[in-house]
Structure formats: C-alpha cells, structure tokens
A and B are shown apart, each in its own frame.
Chain A
Amino acid sequence: MNESRTAASVGATERAAPARSSDLAIETHGLVKRFGHRSAVEGIDLAVPRGSVFGFLGPNGSGKTTTIRVLLGLASANSGDIRVLGREMPQALASVLPGVGALVEGPGFYTFLSGTGNLMRLDAADPHASSSTRRQRVHDALERVGLSHAAGKKVRAYSLGMKQRLGLANAMLRPRELLVLDEPTNGLDPQGTREVRNLVRSLAAGGTTVFVSSHLLAEVEQMCSHVGVMSAGRLVAQGPIEELRSAGQAHVVVQTPDVNLASQVLTRLGLVPGEAPGTGSPWGTTAVLGTGINGHVPEEIVAALVAEGVRVRGFTVENASLEERFVSLTGEGFDVVG
C-alpha cells in the first residue's frame, strides 16, 4: 500500500516537472496548512495545467476544501509557495481573484434576498465589475444555470439544489480564466448533474481552466482531463486521467463452464485468476477473472484458452476503473482519518 503511494507521487513529480510555470493555472510547492497541531494539508505540490479540467479527488476530510480556501486567500498557508494564474499568492490576490470564479464548500447566500438580489450584491463587491452590465450579466448567469424562473424568489425558499445552482451562477457572473468548484454537483438532481457536466465541458472548450473537487469518481471520469488524488492531507497522485488509469491493471473476464481448466491456463500465462461474479446465462456460464493482462494481447489469451479446450462463452478486457485506482491510493477503510 505504502509503496504504491510513494511510487505514484514520484511519478507525479516527474510528470509535473516539464511543465513551465506559465502553462499552469494553479501551482503550489510544499503547501502546508495546519489547524492547531494537526495538519490538514501536508506539503502538496499541485500542478494544474491551463485549459485542463482538473478533478481534485479525495475522501472526506482529506483536505480538498482546505486547499481551495488557501488557494483563494481565504485562509493563509503555514508554508509553501502558491501561484494562481501565474501570479504569486496571496500578494496578487486583488488582481488574480477577479479572473477566478469559485464555489467553496457549498453555497452561502442572504436568505432574505432574491436570487437576483444576491448576485447583484456579490457582483457589486467586485470593484472590477462594471455596474452598467451588472443586471444583464446576472440575468444571463441565472439563465445559464436554469434559475430564470426562480430569480425573483427569496433564497429562503430555494431548495438545496437551487442554492447550488445559484452558487454556480455566481461563479460565472463574469468570463473567468479559472473556475474553482468545490463539489459542484452536491445536492443536484440527475438533470442538474448532467447540466453541470455539460457546463464544465463548454467552459473548458472556451478556454477556462476548471479545478473541480469531488469524491464522485464517475463524475470526475466523465468530465476531467486531469486528476489529483488527496489522501489524509497529501497529494498521492496527479496527472492526466489516462495515465492514472493505465497505472492500474486491466482485467480479463472469461465466461466459461470449465472454470478449473480456464484457471490453469490463465495461471500458466502468468495471470492471477480469481472468481468473477457469474452471469446467469441459459447455459449456466461461470466467469473467471484474470487480473492484469501482463503484456499479453487479448487474442493470445483467447487462443491459449481455446487450444486447451476451454469452452469460451464470453471474453472481455476491462480497463482498470478509476475507482480501484482511487481505493488503492487512498486505502479501503471507510473511517475518516481524523
């Protein structure tokens, strides 16, 4: 377990090294944030390429939100260097933040104001935002997240998902170079989740870098080009999503009634056979799982099986899911590291 962690971090550093600072939207070196004596973030080296959709993964309490707070200057780091959009933070906060839209740990709004009223207020807080286009931009942002019809309603009467959408609208009040979204689909319905994915894709297509934290792997797999994995305050892996996925091993699933024979063949080929959940086909097929294809081409494996007389009723090669990779990096335990 520990070996794989170290290996992954080393790999990450090697990958990050060639990127020049100007290509990175977010860059940290040895970022540490402590609460009292406990460190919530323990020396992470983030490298988020410009134009990427960067999925920031990690179990509960692994330090994602804390990292985001430090990046945005809400909290100060105990040590480490931070550059956002190429400028030193927190010194350049005032000039960097207008180019950054963010959703941090859920929405926060004035419950006694309407959706429009809230966005007008938050936009007015930005001295760089033009007051003459304010109303129009607020209107457009609300439309973009599908809140036009609830724009005049008091936020007190909003559902959780509606507030989350309003939070997203706030992040998009102006064209941004960087969007930082902390669990943006939290509380959204399936349509809302899909819309957020599409929104993120279209923003990324327009050149915006999106840094999105999540613990929903499926979501990250569907929209991210890069991933960073946090575990107990450390960044245990980061890089393009394919690299992270291919670091895991592919599986071969053979469906056959001749389980023992198939297992022998797979073992001879250097695979580690196991029992995969059988599928209830009319012929009572049972599946055998081979872990890792070990450099074999899939058709070789099929040929070897057939040559030994194994009745192959189904054969699939499954790429390592990000989930397995995630679990192997962050550990199986359900308990939050506290």
Chain B
Amino acid sequence: MLSAKANGPTREGAVRPGLGWALLGSELAVLFRRLRTWAMLIALAAVPILIAVAVKLSSRPTAPGRGPLFLDRITQNGLFVAVTALVVCVPLFLPFTVGVVAGDTIAGEANLGTLRYLLIAPAGRIRLLLVKYAGAVAFCLAATATVAASGALAGVVLFPVGPVTLLSGDTISVGESSLRSLLIAAYITVSLLGLSAIGLLISTFTDVPVGAMAATVVLSVVSQVLDNLPQLEWLHPWLFSHHWLSFADLLRQPISWTSFGENALLQAGYIAVCGALAYAKFSNKDVLS
C-alpha cells in the first residue's frame, strides 16, 4: 500500500476525487437525524392508527362506497388499513411533507448559510443538486413506507386478517396481499417524484425555505383542483397529480401495469424538465446568502 504522502502530488488528507458518495451519505444522515423529519414521519405513522382506531370504536359499520376507498372493508380484513391510509394521505399529508423536504433542499442551505460552505468545499453545483434530489427521493420512500408499515401493524393488531378479495373478484393470500400493499406504496412513491423535482426547482429560486415549501404544497393542491375541473380536460393528462390515485390496476388479477407505466412516464417527464430548469438556474446563480 502506498501511503498518502507517496501518492505524488496529493496532500495530507487528500485522495483522488471519487464519485463523492460521502456527500450522499451525509445528506441522508442530516435529513434523517433532523427532528423535523422525524416529526413528519411520526405524524404520517399516526394516520393509519387513527383510522384503524376510529373504525374499531365506531359501532355503525361504514356503508360501502362512503368515506375513503376501502374504508368499508377494514373491519372484515385488517390488511386494508394500510391501503386506506395511503389513499387518505395522498391528496394532502404526503404532498405536504414532501413539499417541506423538497422545498428546503437548496433554500434551506442558503438560509442557514451552509450553501456557500458546501460550494467552496467544493461540493460542485451539479453534484449538490443531484444529492439534494436523492435526499428528497429517499424521504418520499420513507414517508410512504412509514404509512404502509404503520397501517399494516395497526390492521394486524386491531382486525382479523385473512385472504383478500380483489377488485377483479379473485382472492389472494395474506402474503401476496402484503406484496400488493408494497406495490401501492411504491406507486405512490413514484407519484411524489415529480412533486419533489418541482420543489427542488422552486428551492433554487429563493433563500427563504418556508416560501419554497409553501409554494410546492400549494402547487400540489392546485394541480389536484385543476384535475377535477371538467372544463380543463385537455390539461388533465399533463398534471403531475393526474395519476396519483389510479393505482386500482394493481389490485386486479393479473396485475395491470398500464397505469403504473403512465404514471412513471409522467413523473419522469416532470423530473427531466424541472431538473433541467433547476440545473440551468442553480449553475449560474450568485450565492449571496
């Protein structure tokens, strides 16, 4: 082994530049060590528990077709708690937490004054953007996984668990239905990637993280409202929230991947466009915070 000193021109503590995985590791550590992140994950975990407890305590059975999707099925099968909770969280809770994390990416660093120190480290502007986005993606994954896991747990504890009857009429085993729940969690994670890219883009425009967070959350609401206006039908396929709740395909036998594919394509489009714009903005930005 060569010692660092024998390595030609490199200096003490210096190595040949790697891909910089250390920055990604550090980003994830900082994100998930933060109290705010934990508070949001705990709040998300509470949603399925609240739903399960409320259904358990209410004497009247929920009439089919009323309340969120699958709510009426929970009493018969605890495995539906996770799916119901995910459905409940998609319109507001998940976009809210994702908006907070994605809006904070660059603006939060600028606000703390750490952005200038990261850049002169030098983190590299492109690398920093990529790492920041990767952090936001990790949070999306953690958020949906938290809801699904907490829902599964609450369902198993409070309700009977058994084979599940699918929308297509087929019955699947407990193991397979858990797998389907995970698929739905994955679908929703993918759904949130476009919103994360939008948050990252907004975050490059300001030094005020709360502004970027609020703008991201508001956009997610606006997109869902527009998606409900029949007059704007031509616009619907282009709205990033258009496929957010179209995961029913994953509850058929055999699984139909069409909506998953369409959703993934749409989100990829948003990632590409917002990513390119964020890069264009951030690579030329004067960091004066």
A binding-site residues for B, Cβ under 8 Å: 69, 72-76, 93-94, 97-100, 102, 104-113, 120-131, 133, 137, 170, 173-175
Contacts and interface: CB of A to CB of B under 8 A. Distances in A.
Given A109-B112, A109-B113, A133-B13, A127 B19 contact: yes
A74 B112 contact: no
Interface stretch (B120-128, B209-217, B223-231, B247-255): B120-128
A127 to B, nearest CB: 4
B35 interface: yes
Contacts of B29: 121
Contacts of B22: 124, 127, 129, 131
Given A75-B286, A120-B26, A121-B26, A174 B113 contact: no
Contact of B18 (A93, A99, A127, A173): A127
Contact of A175 (B13, B23, B33, B114): B13
A174 B11 contact: yes
Contacts of A93: 122
Contacts of A98: 14, 122
A130 B14 contact: yes
A130 B4 CA distance: 10
Given A69-B288, A106-B113, A112 B35 contact: yes
A111 B25 CA distance: 19
B175 interface: no
30 contacts: A74-B120, A74-B288, A76-B284, A94-B124, A97-B121, A104-B116, A104-B117, A107-B113, A108-B113, A108-B114, A108-B116, A109-B114, A110-B30, A110-B112, A112-B33, A112-B34, A112-B35, A123-B121, A124-B23, A125-B117, A125-B121, A127-B19, A127-B22, A128-B16, A129-B22, A130-B13, A173-B13, A174-B11, A174-B12, A175-B12
A124 B25 contact: yes
Contact of A122 (B16, B18, B117, B128): B117
B17 interface: yes
A35 B240 CA distance: 37
Given A124-B22, A125-B118, 18 more contacts: A73-B119, A73-B120, A97-B121, A108-B114, A112-B33, A112-B34, A112-B35, A121-B26, A121-B30, A122-B121, A124-B26, A125-B123, A125-B128, A126-B123, A127-B18, A128-B14, A137-B13, A175-B12
Contacts of A73: 119-120, 122
Contacts of B8: none
A183 B33 CA distance: 32
Contacts of A121: 26, 29-30
B54 interface: no
Contacts of B30: 110, 113, 121
A174 B34 CA distance: 27
Given A113-B30, A125-B26, A97 B288 contact: no
B287 interface: yes
A174 B287 contact: no
A120 to B, nearest CB: 7
A99 B120 CA distance: 10
Interface in B126-180: 127-128
B13, B29, B35, B288 pick with most chain A CB within 10 angstroms: B13
B20 interface: yes
A213 B18 CA distance: 33
Contacts of B112: 108-111
Contacts of B16: 128
B232 interface: no
B286 A74 contact: yes
Given A124-B25, A124-B26, A125-B23, A100 B120 contact: yes
Contacts of B6: none
Contact of A69 (B18, B124, B287): B287
B15 interface: yes
A313 B124 CA distance: 66
B207 to A, nearest CB: 12
Interface in B1-59: 4, 11-20, 22-23, 25-26, 29-30, 33-35
Give the top 5 A-B pairs by smallest Cβ distance, nearest first: A108-B113, A125-B121, A97-B122, A75-B286, A125-B123
Contacts of A108: 112-117
A143 B97 CA distance: 39
B217 to A, nearest CB: 22
A74 B116 contact: yes
A121 B34 CA distance: 14
Nearest to B108: A110
A91 to B, nearest CB: 13
A175 B106 CA distance: 29
A94 B274 CA distance: 25
Nearest to B11: A175
Given A69-B288, A108-B113, A124-B26, A129 B119 contact: no
A123 B121 CA distance: 7
A100, A106, A125, A129 pick with most chain B CB within 10 angstroms: A125
Given A98-B14, A121-B30, A110 B114 contact: yes
A105 B113 CA distance: 9
B3 to A, nearest CB: 11
Contact of B286 (A76, A109, A120): A76
Interface in B258-289: 284, 286-288
A5 B34 CA distance: 53
Contacts of B19: 127
Contacts of B113: 106-109
A275 B215 CA distance: 66
Contacts of B20: 125, 127
